[in-house]
Amino acid sequence: MQENAQTKTFQDLGLKKSILNSIKRAGFTAPSPIQEEAIPHILQGKDIVGQAHTGTGKTAAFSLPALNNMSLSEGVELLVITPTRELATQVSDEIYKYGRDLGVKTVTVYGGSSYKRQLDLISRGAHVVVATPGRLLDILKKNMLEDFAPKMVVLDEADEMLDMGFLDDINEIFSYLPTTRQTLLFSATMPQPIKTLAQRILQEPVFVSITKGETTNADIEQLYYVIEESERDAAIIRLMDSEKPKKSVVFCRTKSEVDRLATVLTSSGYTASGLHGDMEQRQRESVIKSFKNGEVDVLVATDVAARGIHVNGITHVFNYHIPFDPESYVHRIGRTGRAGTKGKAITLLTPLEFKELKRIKQKVGSNIDLAFVPSKAELKEMGKESVIKSILEQHIFEEAPAILDLLKEEIDEETIMFKLISMVLDKNAVKGPNKIGIPQEKLAYILEKMEKRHANGGNKNRGRGGYRSRGSNNRGNRDRNRSRNRR
């Protein structure tokens, strides 16, 4: 382990020259921590359990040594199982990129596409299969593949597969696979069912963790804003106006909420699209493609719909509601701060949701700091530098001098300048009420009351003198109980 801790280059990891050439072409200069720790063990043929944040280079951590060790003889040598077709496609593309110099053939297997085409591609000499659990299990149960005996099997994003209800499928899939294999399991979090699965399918695994006691990425700044229930839309818009995210994801609990909020953000001037389980696959793929190439700046999504979508360049994640459990929080904010970049995760909550926040804080082991939504006046002050910058960077059109001469016949130059600056300010006008969110003094009072009520044995008198959010708590409970079925 000490030697690995001092590794600085990919050459030190013992990879073949052809693999090193692929790494150089991909633009990597040094291995990430998970690559540095995992690659030597995988090259030695050991089973591993790898725990690392999303976006830390896990795909390269298993695919580079797997490609390095391939004999490229007949038959599939590497099987990668991923929770969604989007992630399967992404992983397949990445493996193809790394193995191009070796002549490695990859096939992606998922539902909604032709069985015949996928099976034909495998039979033509595929070395790597990247598959989703449902389609893979169907193929194995129907005995559609002859002599299917991959030497290495990778479970990628294992906790996401658990959350999506694939655990039984995974267990059954392994009953069809050879027992003499190398097995790798990667997961951002390690809930007990995943630990149990690892014990069953891995042989004397090496545990590689780069989380250092935390389950969230240190490159992600985490903030929460305390608001009234009725202020959620206004708060999201104000925070987007102040943060100016280049590419962001807003997480909602229900499909109807996704559709409504995407419309609200679009009407506020943002290029936003919704993503949820009721959309057809073609629609989903179109939205994801638009988000990746920058045609859409804001993706509004449910947890399940966003599973497996790993898009680089996401600067912000917004939680319209605080998620129900710590694992969902970890997966949500893991969409930003990828590949060594900085990111920001912002969560909206009411005082009644402080219990959820406390539970998440304890579980993830990282700081989630209190912040306050800027007022109109504060945002205007913050925007002055942006206005100055936009004016300084503005291209001068050839028609400008002639128009200026015409204007000077009507008004003086100073008034012209004031009017033009005002046009820029009007274009960047701050929307919504002056102040959004619960002020610091009031919040301190509410929290003190809540602490006293808790110390006195519960909230029996909440209706008298205690705090009640403007939103219906009963409705919130109904949403909680039904949310997974409505995604």
Contact present, 174 and 144 (Cβ < 8 Å): no
The tens digit of pLDDT for each residue in 69-96 reads 999 887 899 999 998 888 898 899 989 9
Please tell me if the domain spanning 2-209 has the same topology as the one spanning 220-373. yes
Contacts by residues 99-107 (CB-CB < 8 Å, ≥ 24 positions apart): 99/22, 99/63, 99/67, 99/70, 99/127, 99/128, 100/22, 101/18, 101/21, 101/22, 102/18, 102/19, 102/67, 102/70, 102/72, 103/72, 104/67, 104/70, 104/72, 104/128, 106/130
Q: In what order do the strands lie in the sheet with 369-371?
A: 272-275, 298-302, 248-252, 316-319, 343-349, 220-226, 369-371
* Residues 351, 355, 360, 361, Cα dihedral to 10°: 80
* Whole-number pLDDT of residue 296: 94
Annotation: CATH topology of 2-209 = Rossmann fold (3.40.50)
- Taking 3-state DSSP, the helix, strand and coil percentages for the chain, each rounded to the nearest 5, stand at 50, 15, 40
Q: Which amino acid is at 164?
A: M
For domain 220-373, the CATH class is alpha beta
Contact present, 367 and 255 (Cβ < 8 Å): no
* Whole-number pLDDT of residue 448: 79
* Whole-number pLDDT of residue 459: 46
The tens digit of pLDDT for each residue in 134-153 reads 999 999 999 998 889 999 99
Q: What is the pTM of this model?
A: 0.61
Residue 135 CA to chain centroid, in angstroms?
24
* Whole-number pLDDT of residue 239: 95
* Whole-number pLDDT of residue 305: 67
Segments of 350-468 assigned E as strands = 369-371
The tokens describing 21, both together, are: 């050439």
* Whole-number pLDDT of residue 458: 52
Give the position of tokens 């600085």.
8
Residues of the chain with pLDDT under 70: 1-8, 53-55, 211-217, 305, 307-309, 339, 383, 427-430, 454-487
Tell me if residue 151 falls in helix, strand or coil. coil
Bridge partners, 392 (sequence order): none
The tokens describing 281, both together, are: 């696959």
Domain definitions of the chain by residue range: 2-209, 220-373, 377-427
